[in-house]
Amino acid sequence: MKDDSKVGVGKPKHLKPGGAKVVAGKAGAVRKRPASAGPTASVEAAVAKITPARLAAFEILKLVGENKGHSDELLHSARVDGLSPEDRHLTTALVMGVLRWQIALDARVRGLLQRPEQRLAEPVSIALRMGAFQLLHLERIPAHAALSESVELCRAAGEPHATGMVNAVLRKLAAAQKPGVRIHESVAAFAERLGHPRWIVERWVAAYGRDVALKICEADQQEPVEGTMFAERGGDWPVMDDGSRLVGEIAAAAMPGAKRVWDCCAAPGGKTLVLAKRLGGAEVVASDVSAKRLAQTEARLRRYAYAERVEFAVADAAQAKGVAGEFDLILCDVPCSGTGTMAGNPEIRHRLKVEEFARQAERQRAILTGALKRLAPGGRLVYSTCSLEAEECEGVVDAVVGAGGVVRVPVDGVIAQLAENGVLSGEMGSAVRDGALRTLPGVHGGDGFYAVILERV
């Protein structure tokens, strides 16, 4: 018997060669297509029915899916700058929301297809995700707008054969009941409901337990908000994630009398600002391997009077070249998978592969080993990541400490000092694990960070 809750794609896929492309320019304008691409009337009519915000969001999601850009950069590019403030806001909500919920949205849509295993063309999937996201997660969007503009996006992207299916799926979704009360939910079920790949959630369950893994997933689905971890904020404090600031605060408090400080992976400079503000008497050198990122960091830091004396250098920390002398405090905030930052960087989950952790760990070991060559006797180095994965955290530190020359200093005392001095607004004892800092999204507020203090012997 035909299940009429299932929707089929009108026709098997036979795309016209050179299927129409929708390109939002500065103000969401449409780029002219070559005459050779065939008739355009229906494409242009479709584009005219789409609001600039949805057009820009569609374009950005397409580029992110093709690995041609990062959502954050694309949302701050000329294509979005030309939009009205309301349209910019909606574009951001659509892009970040779809990236956060993509896995769950795809599962809901698949459940409504006649052939759930069928692979949909990417523009069709994006139009469906955008429509489903608006219907399920955005309260102030009228259902008819979400629905009809997804259909038009599909047509405008050169997929007219799929418009009937998109319309029918979204209609069913709009009419569907909300999911009922969950009595017991498997890890696979909550991973899908909360838009995460199952394999990464299973790793978190193994590392932190089921309840914490669920909290991490829930936190990843929220837009980051201003934290409450620190007593002092606003004024000339930079706007930054609490977990990230805590790493900077720990580094500064690990060596309060430091004279020479090296922030060896500094861009975009959030923790450099914390070091400069806390260690007023120290010479602070901020370096990064990327000249472009360092230039942006320098421009950012120049807006803060207390960062005036920070010196900048392009340097590969793994080579320990490009900066002179020894330092009594080094912050080594290495590049990582970023699994602790998925609330603000939702697409990480779609690109991540398990092999990535070993590759990152190798690079992190090289950077930490290089940076340690510049640590003065008795000096301290803080190694940190925004990863939740042991390979990039404990694994790297164990390997480097095992090679000799440095010992671990438990972070407990430094955190207690921060609480005593009134820097922290509350108790953070639960964020210490085996002598290292381990903050978890949804548990401690802010992103998930790891930090350990090492001392040169």
Ligand X SMILES: C[S@@+](CC[C@H](N)C(=O)[O-])C[C@H]1O[C@@H](n2cnc3c(N)ncnc32)[C@H](O)[C@@H]1O
Give the residues lining the site for ligand X (CB under 6 A).
244, 264-271, 288-290, 293, 316-318, 333, 335, 367
Minimum CB separation of residue 379 from ligand X in Å reads 19
- Produce one character per residue of 390-413: b if its CB has 16 or more CB atoms within 10 Å, e if not: bbbbbbbbeebbeeeebebbebee
85 labelled binding-site residue? no
Please say which residue, 244 or 345, places its beta carbon nearer to ligand X.
244
Task: Quickly count: other Cβ atoms within 10 Å of residue 269's Cβ.
Answer: 27
288 labelled binding-site residue? yes
Task: Determine phi and psi for 311, rounding to 5 degrees.
Answer: -100, 150
Please say which residue, 269 or 346, places its beta carbon nearer to ligand X.
269
| Rounded distance between C-alpha atoms, residue 369 and residue 352, angstroms | 26
263 labelled binding-site residue? no
Catalytic residue among 154, 217, 332, 386: 386
Closest CA to 330 of 265, 405, 237, 422: 265
Please say which residue, 141 or 265, places its beta carbon nearer to ligand X.
265
Q: Which residue is nearest to ligand X (CB)?
A: 265
Minimum CB separation of residue 316 from ligand X in Å reads 4
3 labelled binding-site residue? no
Q: Residue type at 443?
A: V
24 labelled binding-site residue? no
Minimum CB separation of residue 294 from ligand X in Å reads 8
Look up 386 and say whether it is catalytic. Answer: yes
| Rounded distance between C-alpha atoms, residue 304 and residue 324, angstroms | 25
| 160 HSE (CA, 13 A, CB side) | 12
356 in Cβ contact with 405 (< 8 Å): no
328 labelled binding-site residue? no
Cα-based angle 21, 113, 350 (whole degrees, multiple of 5): 60
Kindly write down the DSSP assignment for every residue of 215-239, as one continuous string. HHHHHHTSPP----SBSS-STTSPP
Minimum CB separation of residue 406 from ligand X in Å reads 19
Burial class (CB in 10 A: 0-12, 13-18, 19+), 199: exposed
Locus of tokens 């299916």: 165
Minimum CB separation of residue 384 from ligand X in Å reads 8
Please say which residue, 56 or 317, places its beta carbon nearer to ligand X.
317
Please say which residue, 196 or 271, places its beta carbon nearer to ligand X.
271
Binding-site annotation, residues: 265-271, 288, 316, 333
**Residues tagged active-site:** 386
Binding-site annotation, residues for S-adenosyl-L-methionine: 265-271, 288, 316, 333
